[in-house]
Homo-oligomer: A and B are copies of this chain.
Amino acid sequence: MRVFNFSAGPAMLPLPVLEQAQAELADWKNSGMSVIEVSHRGKDFVACAAETQALLREVLGVPDNYKVLFLQGGASAQFDAVPLNLAAPGDLVNFIKTGQWSAKAIAASKRQALRVDVIADETASGCTTIPAPGSYEVDPGAAYLHYTPNETIGGVEFDHIPAAGDVPLVADASSTILSRPLDVSAYGVVYAGAQKNMGPAGLCVVLVRDDLIGKARPGTPAILEYAGMAAADSMLNTPPTFSVYLLGLVLSWIQQTGGLAAMAERNRAKAAALYGAIDASGFYSNPVAPNARSWMNVPFLVPDPSLEKTFVQEAWAAGLTNLGGHRSVGGMRASIYNAMPIEGVQALISFMTDFERRKG
């Protein structure tokens, strides 16, 4: 029996994707080999990687002047790779800080000897808000402006793209990519770990505008250096072949279910239902400002924190798994990525209603 899995990542995948991967796991394309076993330089896998990239470009609308890189190390690797590729030691960079993931990106830019100016900092609200457009100023001399479109832990999502002028805008889109249309042309770099909306952990997708490639500082590790990876079609070294293959299946599923516009509509409806239930209850609460509420990660609290463990355990027993909040903040969190059907959200709401009735 499949459960409704609310894990923040690695996360639920579409069942048709898992079933196809399962059916062909020991024999891919009638080759007598698993996709895990074939050479990354062989024609079948080269075609698979090219097809996956073409699908990503099509589904996401990636402009021609952007490279698509399939890298390793997750978004955490890009925390260091972005400064190494885009800025020299001592350069100024701008950040918008909305939670723990932007804080990690800030720390890495400092580690790479950049001068960091946090031009908007939502710490005062407990990172339950996003800065209003026009409430901060981007330094025209900054090497880039970095922000986190969706904070997975706090459940805070931007409802707009920050204006950065001529400064390259860099986004850690790990937990929002493919959940709705994205205007890639507004960005210098978009990076995203795969393990939320794209596939297995171990793959990181990087979209980078051509003019930003080729400026890496000396000593940048080869696996993090955009120019070398772009020139080698992300095969400077052996890529995570199974993850690239699975991303291809996920993209096909998105395309077959209506693309990103349809996905956005489903995600909007799922989020609206869940926030609606929370707000209507008087028992559950979500601390995030309405305009900053994430479509993907919905944290919520109960009045008595000692009930949290019971909630998570009883929900798990009812087939609603991984509802514990991040270990740093506690509470509950429902991650409702693309693969979570509306039926899962409805089942969660029913459980919440019943739990409130029994414990409220």
With contacts A2-B27, A3-B32, A32-B2 taken as known, whether A202 is within 8 angstroms of B242 at the C-beta atoms is yes
Chain B residue at minimum C-beta to C-beta distance from A339? B37
**A2 CA to B34 CA, complexed, in Å:** 9
Min CB distance A41 to B, Å, is 7
Tell yes or no: A19 within 8 A of B by CB.
Answer: yes
Chain B residue at minimum C-beta to C-beta distance from A218? B111
Are A41 and B327 in touch, CB under 8 angstroms? yes
Tell yes or no: A348 within 8 A of B by CB.
Answer: no
Tell yes or no: A184 within 8 A of B by CB.
Answer: no
Are A36 and B7 in touch, CB under 8 angstroms? no
Tell yes or no: A21 within 8 A of B by CB.
Answer: yes
Please tell me how many copies of the chain the complex holds.
Answer: 2
Q: Which residues of B contact A34 (CB under 8 A)?
A: 13, 18
Are B39 and A26 in touch, CB under 8 angstroms? no
Are A200 and B33 in touch, CB under 8 angstroms? no
Interface string of A229-247 (1 = CB under 8 A from B): 0000000111111110010
Are A21 and B25 in touch, CB under 8 angstroms? yes
Most buried by B among A19, A41, A200, A218: A200
Min CB distance A252 to B, Å, is 17
Are B37 and A12 in touch, CB under 8 angstroms? yes
**A36 CA to B22 CA, complexed, in Å:** 12
Min CB distance A78 to B, Å, is 10
Chain B residue at minimum C-beta to C-beta distance from A239? B201
Min CB distance A159 to B, Å, is 26
Min CB distance A52 to B, Å, is 15
Query: Which of B2, B33, B80, B243 is the one whose CB lies under 8 Å from A5?
Result: B33
Q: Which residues of B contact A76 (CB under 8 A)?
A: 222-223, 236-238
Are B241 and A201 in touch, CB under 8 angstroms? yes
Chain B residue at minimum C-beta to C-beta distance from A241? B201
**A268 CA to B348 CA, complexed, in Å:** 57
Are B10 and A219 in touch, CB under 8 angstroms? no
Query: Which of B15, B33, B112 is the one whose CB lies under 8 Å from A219?
Result: B112
Min CB distance A133 to B, Å, is 31
Q: Which residues of B contact A84 (CB under 8 A)?
A: 221
Are B2 and A81 in touch, CB under 8 angstroms? no
Which residues between 303 and 357 of chain A lie within 8 Å of chain B, taking CB atoms?
319, 321-322, 327
Q: Which residues of B contact A108 (CB under 8 A)?
A: 221-222
Most buried by B among A8, A11, A201, A218: A201
For the complex of A and B, the 4 pairs showing the least CB-CB separation, nearest first, are A202-B240, A3-B32, A76-B237, A80-B221
Having A42-B322, A81-B221, one finds 10 other A-B pairs with CB under 8 Å, namely A3-B31, A12-B33, A18-B34, A31-B321, A32-B321, A76-B223, A108-B221, A201-B238, A202-B203, A202-B240
